Amino acid sequence: MGDLIVQLIPPLLGVILSPLAIMALVAVLLSRLARVNGIAFLLGWAVGIVGVLALSMWIFSALQIRALHEPPLWVAIVRLLLGLLLVGGAWYVYHRGAERIARMAAAEGPKAVAHAAKLPGWLQSVSTFKPGRTFLLGVGLFVINPVDASCAIIAGLDIVLADVSTTEAFWVAFGFAVLGVLPIAIPVVWVVVAGERAQPSLDRMRTWIAGNTHVLNAALLLVIGALQLEKAITAMV
């Protein structure tokens, strides 16, 4: 089981460090209904992770790929497609982040810098969301986001292919989901407990995200994608 846990570290980090989810969370926690919307977003994010992970494990288990002596060719093709998607995602994340940094560097004065570092336009409308819509935002940001969903699918595939018991597979999947939810849960709990005192921390977090996360996330996605491409090519040769 130790080998399986090591294999799951890269996709887990891909979920934990999701820049889009963190930016959306900051927008939610700066909204008018910060506490209730934060909890709704957290529940939606948890449902998204558990849903994609459970569905992928169920599908791969139903196909009985573990029972085969060698995984079929389509498994390698799935890894190839996911790898290409993640490598493309790495380029996109880096490119968008570099553009934001350039705008901040060209800005004159603190207000201009803050404006350049602001959240994307569509995320600013989150301030008008009610809990139901915020819950759907949490679900959708994971399920529809190809990068986050791909990481969960990769995790589900690796768990199904691993030589572990059903009970061990369940607990590994449970741990993956819990750790994936944790980075969203911690800020939400902080806002629920601290209230308005959390505002300065959220403002600093927003500025830091705008200026620092793109390189780390791009590198991480590139590593995850490269690992999947390597596994796919090895299986095909």
Q: Render pLDDT for 158-207 as a digit per residue (tens, 0 to 9).
A: 898 888 888 999 999 999 999 999 989 988 888 887 666 666 666 666 55
Please state, in angstroms and rounded to a whole number, the distance separating the CA atoms of residues 121 and 125: 7
Residue 98's pLDDT is what? Answer: 65
Please state, in angstroms and rounded to a whole number, the distance separating the CA atoms of residues 68 and 33: 52
Sign, CA dihedral 51-18-227-173, equals negative
Structure tokens at 114: 């803050």
Structure tokens at 194: 């601290």
Q: pTM for the whole thing?
A: 0.74
Which of 20-34, 98-112, 130-144, 185-199 has maximum average pLDDT?
130-144
Structure tokens at 205: 């977090």
- The answer to whether the CB of 28 falls within 8 A of the CB of 202 is no
151 C-beta neighbours (distance < 10 Å), count:
31
Residue 183's pLDDT is what? Answer: 86
Residues of the chain with pLDDT > 70, as a percent, come to 74
Residue 198's pLDDT is what? Answer: 64
Its domain, for residue 52, covers 2-236
Confidence band, pLDDT 50/70/90 cuts, at residue 211:
low
Confidence band, pLDDT 50/70/90 cuts, at residue 107:
very low
Please state, in angstroms and rounded to a whole number, the distance separating the CA atoms of residues 236 and 91: 25
Which secondary-structure segment (H or E) carries 4? helix 2-16
Which of 125-129, 166-170, 200-204, 216-220 has maximum average pLDDT?
166-170
Note the Cα 25 to chain centre separation in Å: 12
Please state, in angstroms and rounded to a whole number, the distance separating the CA atoms of residues 209 and 72: 41
Note the Cα 235 to chain centre separation in Å: 27
**Per the structure, how many domains does the chain have?**
1
Apex 180 CA angle, 175 and 183, nearest 5: 125
